Amino acid sequence: MINILLVGAGGFIGSVLRYLVGGYVQESIKHLNFPYGTLAVNLIGCFVIGFLAQFGEKYGMFSNESRSFIFVGILGGFTTFSSFGNETVNLMRQDFMTNAFINIGANVILGLFAVWLGRTVGHLIWR
């Protein structure tokens, strides 16, 4: 139960940070034809999860509880793209290249398809 609370608290923090950072970047650039705020959040999240994962591996600094709070909660709330990136790199590091590329394709292609399908179903229901 404690891990669930830690993930929830971290998720709150990460989501608020995503809103603030993404909004700040998008407003600063003032170019509405590209989602720079989302790109910034995804890149920051990927960098941070990579940095902390390496730090944690080298020094063994993260308990199960702190991993739940930081990796799943804060970074998961900030951007799930960071988790996707970290998991894909871990597959590559373990020489599961086929699985890594399947993961990339499945997340990107199926994710885009799921968004399209959701919009299509929504359009049919709420005409």
Using the 8-state DSSP alphabet, how is residue 118 labeled? Answer: H
State the pLDDT at residue 127.
82
How many other C-beta atoms are found inside a 10 Å radius of the C-beta of residue 88?
18
- The structure tokens listed for 102 are 């399947």
Give percent of the chain above pLDDT 90.
Answer: 78
Instruction: Locate the domains of the chain by residue range.
Output: 2-94, 98-127
pTM for the complete prediction? 0.79
Residue 43 token pair: 């890149």
The confidence score (pLDDT) of residue 24 equals: 96
Per-residue pLDDT of the chain (127 residues; tens, 9 = 90+): 999 999 999 999 999 999 999 999 999 998 777 889 999 999 999 999 999 999 898 888 899 999 999 999 999 999 988 889 999 999 999 999 999 999 999 999 998 998 899 999 998 998 8
* List of residues 6+ apart from 32 with CB closer than 8 A: 26
Please, are residues 86 and 24 in contact by the beta-carbon 8 Å criterion? no
